[in-house]
Structure 1
Amino acid sequence: MKIRVRYFASIREAVGISEESIILPDRVKTLDDLRGYLMDRGTIWREALAEGNSLRMACQLKMAAPDTLLTEGCEVAFFPPVTGG
């Protein structure tokens, strides 16, 4: 399955890219699986996407839970919480 992943704000700064297309292995089926798959890339990825971080995820432009299923061609976004004033 091929998806598009976008990174915003401090996450983008940490990983050094704003977006990428990824062909996922069959074992990656949910947002949580994707997060783990990306964290396996190494230290920078583990730190940026760590479970303890306040991290938001979206799939197809909608806020999404970790158990959200990924689909062919979907767009996923990772971003920190946003505050307004």
Structure 2
Amino acid sequence: MNLKVLCFGITRDIIGQFEYKLSLPANASVADLKQHLSTQFPGFATLKSLRIALNEEYAEDTMTLNENDEIVLIPPVSGG
């Protein structure tokens, strides 16, 4: 299935674009997406935390992705 992922903050820097398109097998999970990103972009290994939002809600690794889902990478936040 074809997916579109929106990237913010450091995830945008790592991927090099705001919108990343990829293809994963049907019934792929959030964990599968994370694995794909780590394989394609080694910079993801340096992130201490990364959240993924699926249709405007935080997603668990076991959730199944669908082709029309809105997928957003939410990078770790720092401040002072």
Instruction: State the TM bucket, normalised to the shorter chain.
Output: 0.7 to 0.9
Q: When the two structures are superposed, what TM-score results if normalisation uses the length of structure 1?
A: 0.75
Deviations along 1:4-32, one digit per CA (max 9) or x if unpaired, are: 10111011112211112322234x61111
Report the RMSD for the aligned CA atoms in angstroms. Answer: 2.3
1:32 and 2:31 aligned = yes
Partner of residue 72 from structure 1, selected from 64, 67, 71: 67
Runs of 4+ in 1 over 4 A off after TM superposition: none
Distance 2:66 2:6 in 1: 16
1:9 and 2:5 aligned = no
C-alpha deviation, 1:38, in angstroms: 2.1
Aligned length: 80
The runs of 5 or more residues in structure 1 that have no matched partner are none
Question: SS at 1:5's partner residue?
Answer: strand
Question: SS at 2:61's partner residue?
Answer: coil
CA 1:63–1:84 in structure 2 vs 1: closer, same or farther (change >3 Å)?
Answer: farther
